[in-house]
Amino acid sequence: MSIPHLGVKKKEAEESEKILFTGLDNAGKTTIIYALQREFSKIALLKPTRGAQRRIFDFLGKEIGEWDLGGQLKYRISYLKNPSKYFDKTSICIYVIDILAKSRYRESIDYLKDVIKKFEEFKISPPVYILLHKYDPALVKSAANKMKTLEQDIKTMVKKDINYDKIFFYNTTIFDLPHIIHVMSEIYLNLYPKSELIDKLIKDFAIKVLANGVEIIDNNSLIIGSYYDNEETKSLTSRSNPYFLTLNESFKKGEGRGMSTEMRNHILVQRFQKYFIFKEISLGSETPPYYLLILKNNPNFNIEDFESLANLLKEILYK
């Protein structure tokens, strides 16, 4: 007779940092999370998030718990009733507001007030990043003043109703993926005290390989470090990284057999009299992949330079 495993509960993985995505339903939270994971096919079929969804992932060697708190009223009430599970130990709060839903600004800011009150009850003061989301390019083009007014309305309401030091605003839209990636990278890098070390490493590398721009991107599309020699190369490099990530994934599905690893693991594109080199770099079998995007005047590179960069990065991140 077998002994039932009564009372033996599998221990849940503990995250070392907690990131809370919250806001009303339909604000765009899940869309943003999926876009960073390049799950574009899921976005098209998105249903309202039921309850809280937690995902644990590695960010620069740290375990991050990312909580997507479904925003319908019934769920919001249940989070507030069980606050220690949802709000305690938050490292970063990302509060998404649908800028196009003017009739719900009041409701959204009242809920933000409730969330911040919970932080205060737990004696924590995580930074709160308010994303004024659905700030779509088409609307900026056709109704720039109106968008500015809406933005100002929200900011005024927040200022009037909420007294909290660490509130920061960003305008975001799913139709400008490079910008969302830039914003999220900036937010997430606050969790990582050694980011200057990575930037220094990348700068030395860029100078060595004569690159105009270099980015290292992680598996969640977050730019973990960058170097650009001027504004133009910055814009060229950062605007193209999401497309290389996606392209890389579609190539990987039909990965070329018989080629050496070095040969199949990079993409070379020539555009605007420049060369873009995109390469996956592995820091070991235990760690998620990282990606390197380089902008140069010529298409030449040495595999050894990539390997030495990968080794140094591994030293910083995983030692």
Tell me which residues touch Mg ion (CB under 5 A). 29-30, 49
- DSSP assignment string, 78-138: HHHHSHHHHTTT-SEEEEEEETT-GGGHHHHHHHHHHHHHHHHHTT----EEEEEE---HH
| CB 176, min distance to ligand GDP, A | 8
Distance CA 68, CA 226 (A): 28
Q: In what order do the strands lie in the sheet with 92-98?
A: 52-59, 62-69, 17-23, 92-98, 128-133, 167-172
Place of tokens 């200057």: 196
Closest residue to Mg ion in the complex (CB): 49
Distance CA 30, CA 25 (A): 10
List the single partner that 26 binds among Mg ion, ligand GDP, none, CB under 5 to 8 Å by kind. ligand GDP
Q: Which two tokens stand for residue 243?
A: 């497309």
CB-count burial class (<10 Å; 0-12, 13-18, 19+) for 199:
middle
Q: Which stretch binds ligand GDP (CB under 6 A): 24-32, 113-121, 207-215, 305-313?
A: 24-32
Query: Amino acid identity of 163?
Result: N
Distance CA 38, CA 22 (A): 20
Q: Which is nearer to ligand GDP, 15 or 136 (CB)?
A: 136
| CB 80, min distance to Mg ion, A | 18
List the single partner that 134 binds among ligand GDP, Mg ion, none, CB under 5 to 8 Å by kind. ligand GDP
Q: Which stretch binds ligand GDP (CB under 6 A): 28-36, 76-84, 107-115, 247-255?
A: 28-36
Phi/psi region, residue 97 (left: phi>0; alpha: psi -120 to 50; beta: rest), is beta
Q: Which stretch binds ligand GDP (CB under 6 A): 41-49, 114-122, 160-168, 283-291?
A: 41-49
**Sites for ligand GDP among residues 233-252 (CB under 6 A):** none
| CB 241, min distance to ligand GDP, A | 19
Place of tokens 């009372």: 7
Contact call for residue 29 and ligand GDP (CB under 6 A): yes
**Sites for ligand GDP among residues 291-310 (CB under 6 A):** none
| CB 72, min distance to Mg ion, A | 9
Contact call for residue 268 and ligand GDP (CB under 6 A): no
Instruction: Give the pairing type, strands 290-296 and 274-281.
Output: antiparallel
Contact call for residue 108 and ligand GDP (CB under 6 A): no
Distance CA 164, CA 130 (A): 12
Which residue among 60, 66, 69, 71 contacts ligand GDP (CB under 6 A)?
A: 71
**Sites for ligand GDP among residues 48-67 (CB under 6 A):** 48-49
**Sites for ligand GDP among residues 147-176 (CB under 6 A):** 173-174
Contact call for residue 25 and ligand GDP (CB under 6 A): yes
Q: Which is nearer to Mg ion, 97 or 281 (CB)?
A: 97
Q: 31: which residues sit within 8 A by CB, 6+ positions away?
A: 43, 46, 174
Distance CA 179, CA 275 (A): 22
* Total site size for ligand GDP, rule CB under 6 A: 18
Q: How many CB atoms lie within 10 A of CB 259?
A: 10
Q: Which is nearer to ligand GDP, 1 or 138 (CB)?
A: 138
> Using CB under 6 A as the criterion, which residues of the chain lie in contact with ligand GDP when the complex forms?
23, 25-31, 46, 48-49, 71, 96, 133-134, 136, 173-174
